Amino acid sequence: MYNPASRVAEEFIDHQEILDTLKYAEENKHNEALITELIEKAKLRKGLSHREASVLLECDIEEKNQEIYALAEQIKKDFYGNRIVMFAPLYLSNYCVNGCTYCPYHLKNKHIPRKKLTQEEVRREVIALQDMGHKRLALEAGEDPVNNPIEYILECIDTIYSIKHKNGEIRRVNVNIAATTVENYRKLKDAGIGTYILFQETYHKESYLELHPTGPKHDYAYHTEAMDRAMEGGIDDVGIGVLFGLDKYRYEFAGLLMHAEHLEAVWGVGPHTISVPRLRNADDIDINSFTNGISDDIFAKIVAMIRIAVPYTGMIISTRESQECRERVLHLGVSQISGGSKTSVGGYADGEEEEVSSEQFEVSDTRTLDEVVKWLMEMDYVPSFCTACYREGRTGDRFMSLCKSGQIQNCCHPNALMTLKEYLVDYASEETKAIGDKLIEKEITTIPKEKVRQIVIENLKAIEEDNRRDFRF
Ligand code: SAM
């Protein structure tokens, strides 16, 4: 039955294959010879299969786990250097016809204020986001064909790209909306989106049906096969994820990797990103009524294992997680984080008052973007506002070949430094700017090619002194 190249959900996420995988992992969790062999294989940086990775996830030999963490950290450094890409979510509408039992936007919630941004309100939100320094957004919306049809989403994308406020602009719009048709994915592609993001929530079909009792999202196959339709519609950067806390994490972990293997088998390119959201309290949602929550330790292990199982895939963590937890997983493999996020519709321009009621979930990390940027730099990370790959057409397998060619240090690193410089000049507090300028000075020396280094130095000067913007390799 199990067939990663099949287009049928229950064949590429085959329940029995997951059960067999979990049994195999349980049986081998103390098999030191196999575990050593798998860690050696992972060191080749070609990834691991869902079965192999599940064994390492299950391994409870302390010394081997330390090796896994060290390897994850090393792979992260080799592929992503010390750059961390910054983004913010933008909530367009919380109208929703689905019945998701963990999300306060579910149809039966009659007291949450329903809101949908007008184009003027989109403008205000985007200006607020630009004034913070953001260049990359993830659009969020409930599923409601009447209130939030695809035309509405497309109109918002056009509005967002058209706004140029002071030196600000949104250069990449990623989209996290409900599963849709190939035709609609094509329209999103034509509107110039970056990544299409859709969380599976859970790969366990039976739980999926219970957690999504009503509405179009109830259709497990339609949801699970969405990324194939997105690829068919021409979107070659897709972002997957599960909502940890809904079902058992071992099952989800295997499912997530099988989904990645499926995309690779059918489309020749795996997911561009993997997100690792954990369930949070929200308006009428109490996480205590869900029994599959995971500890911070398990969460860290999952992140480390994703890093070594799919080394070329970016990993995203949101403000659902605390500063402390984010710090821990940054070292283990996360490459993209949000900062200064609001999860309410209109939250950026409206400020605190409006925020409480329409938010999707409680944010743990409530720091401003400036604070997050400063914190990253104090740990020697380079916050990057780069959007160059997507704008230069380096998406899908072309992005992957850039990673594999080892040119990242001559391309991504300079782009990160130049976009960080823009941030420092236009938006940073004095303290953050001072730390950032020092960091940039130090980081320039790590660019291998002399010629590239010279160009970067000139461009940095032009950003600071001539108000020039948007340099990129
Ligand atoms: N409506 C779209 C869909 O159905 O896929 C996606 C947008 S939704 C705003 C983004 C994600 O938020 C969902 O996919 C879900 O994983 C997550 N989410 C929902 N309720 C949550 C909660 N209580 N805590 C944390 N994340 C939650």
Q: Are residues 354 and 398 in the same domain?
A: no
**What integer is the mean pLDDT of 56-83?**
96
Whether 373 is covered by a domain: the verdict is no
Enter the DSSP assignment of 201: B
Burial class (CB in 10 A: 0-12, 13-18, 19+), 406: exposed
Q: Are residues 348 and 419 in the same domain?
A: no
Give the chain's largest Cα–Cα span. Answer: 64
Calpha distance 263→270 (Å, rounded): 5
Q: Are residues 183 and 236 in the same domain?
A: yes
Whether 16 is covered by a domain: the verdict is yes
CA-wise closest residue to 68 among 315, 325, 304, 334 = 304
58 within ligand 1 shell (Cβ under 6 A): no
Residue nearest (by alpha carbon) to ligand 1 atom 13: 199
Q: Are residues 263 and 289 in the same domain?
A: yes
**What integer is the mean pLDDT of 252-266?**
98
The answer to whether 334 and 317 have CB atoms below 8 angstroms apart is yes
Angle among Cα 296, 329, 203 to the nearest 5 degrees reads 70
**114 contacts: CB under 8 Å, gap ≥ 6:** 94, 95, 358
- Would you mind telling me the total number of residues written for the chain in this entry? 473
Whether 189 is covered by a domain: the verdict is yes
| Tens of pLDDT, residues 403-458 | 777 677 788 999 999 999 999 999 999 999 999 999 999 999 999 999 999 999 99
Q: Are residues 271 and 403 in the same domain?
A: no
Q: Are residues 191 and 50 in the same domain?
A: no
The answer to whether 239 and 193 have CB atoms below 8 angstroms apart is no
Q: Are residues 66 and 86 in the same domain?
A: no
Tell me the CA–centroid distance for residue 294 and ligand 1, in Å: 18
Whether 377 is covered by a domain: the verdict is no
Q: Are residues 190 and 268 in the same domain?
A: yes
- Identify any residues that bridge with 140 across adjacent strands, giving them in sequence order: 91, 176
Q: What's residue 40's pLDDT?
A: 98
Q: What's residue 409's pLDDT?
A: 76
Least confident of 195-199, 271-275, 354-358: 354-358
Reported as type and span, the H/E element at residue 224 is helix 220-224
Take residue 387 and report the two structure tokens written for it.
């959007």
Mutation test residue for ligand 1: of 147, 197, 199, the one with most atoms within 8 Å of CB: 199
The answer to whether 137 and 174 have CB atoms below 8 angstroms apart is yes
Q: What's residue 406's pLDDT?
A: 67
Q: Are residues 347 and 436 in the same domain?
A: no
Q: Are residues 216 and 333 in the same domain?
A: yes
176 within ligand 1 shell (Cβ under 6 A): yes
Q: What's residue 465's pLDDT?
A: 98
Query: Which amino acid is located at 470 in the chain?
Result: D
- Domain holding 20, by residue range, is 9-76
- Top pLDDT among 453 and 394 is at 453
Q: Are residues 300 and 208 in the same domain?
A: yes
Q: How many structural domains does the chain have?
A: 3
Residue nearest (by alpha carbon) to ligand 1 atom 21: 103
Q: Are residues 111 and 22 in the same domain?
A: no
Calpha distance 262→271 (Å, rounded): 10
Tell me the CA–centroid distance for residue 257 and ligand 1, in Å: 20
Task: Report the 10 Å Cβ neighbour count for 16.
Answer: 10
